[in-house]
Structure 1
Amino acid sequence: MVRFKNRYITVEIVCPFVSEDKPLHLKPKIFHDTLLSKIQLLHGDFGVAAVTNGFLTKYCNENTRIAIIRSRHGPHRFVTSSLPFITKIGKLDVKLNTLHVGATLKHSFKFIEKHQRAYLDSMWSKLKTDEERQKLEAAVLDYTKTDVAINIENIA
């Protein structure tokens, strides 16, 4: 039996035209398809064929603008080399920053938790009531924002 190694790429989505206090309306399916089309453009059919097996968008948070992409070890280099060249996702002008590349999803979530705690500390000073703070904390620390439909499509 062969064990397949994966890499989890944590990406920050920077959108200069949408203010940081508003959620970024971005579907994981659009993000996934945009990334595959950019890999096709840069690395051709070989890059897409290498990346497609095991390629998933595992997590996408609209509030903190962070996404996790799963890719196989080896072809993950095609993904990470294509990320800086993405300037548009759907109708949004964006810039993607690679924050972390990890071997396990657990370590990626640990990194995201540290990153999002820093984000919460900076945003709490702008909020006035405790209710607003609790809503923001619940939205930021929600790790269930994943589109299960595209993940099921790609697993089969």
Structure 2
Amino acid sequence: MVRFKNRYITVEIVCPTVSEKTPLQLKPGIFHSTVLHKVQQIHGDFGVAAIKSGFLTKYCNESTRIAIIRVRHGPHRFVTSSLPFVKTIGKLNVRLNTLHVGATLKHTFKFIQKFQRAYLDARWVKLKTPEERQQLEQAVLDFTKTDVKINIENIT
């Protein structure tokens, strides 16, 4: 039996036209098709055929603007080289920053937790009431928008 290795690419979606306080109206399917279309434009049919079998958007948080893409090891280079060229997703003007490329989903979620904790610390200074802080913390640390059945408490 052959074991397929995957890579998990953590992407930050930067949208200068939408305020950081409002969540993006971004669905994983639209994000997925946009990245696939950009790989088609840059690498052609060969690039699409190479990534198609293991390509999946695992996680997309509209509040923190973080997404995780799963792709097979090897062809993941087609995706990582195409991400900086994505300029629009749907009707949004965006810029995609690759934050992390990991071998396991567990380590990718650990990285996201550290990244989002730093994000929370930077944003808490601007909030005035404890209720606003609690709402922001729930939105940032919400990993339930993923189709992965993983227990976050067991990660740390």
Aligned mates of 2:109, 2:72 — CA distance in 1: 18
Task: Give the C-alpha shift of residue 127 in structure 1.
Answer: 1.3
- Name structure 1 gaps, 5 residues minimum: 149-156
Partner residue, 1:119: 119
Task: Give the C-alpha shift of residue 145 in structure 1.
Answer: 1.5
Partner residue, 1:93: 93
CA RMSD, Structure 1 to Structure 2 (Å) = 1.1
For the residue of structure 2 that corresponds to 1:25, the secondary structure is: coil
Aligned mates of 1:95, 1:72 — CA distance in 2: 23
8 A Cα contact 1:28 1:147, kept in partner: no
Partner residue, 2:141: 141
Partner AA of 2:132 in structure 1: E
For the residue of structure 2 that corresponds to 1:16, the secondary structure is: coil
Task: Give the C-alpha shift of residue 147 in structure 1.
Answer: 6.5
| Percent of aligned pairs with the same amino acid | 79
Aligned mates of 1:18, 1:74 — CA distance in 2: 35
Query: Normalising to structure 2: TM-score of the pair?
Result: 0.92
Runs of 4+ off more than 4 Å: none
Q: How many residues align?
A: 148
Query: Normalising to structure 1: TM-score of the pair?
Result: 0.92
1:33 to 2:30 alignment = no
Partner residue, 2:65: 65
Please say which of residues 85-94 and 119-128 is displaced more in the overlay: 119-128
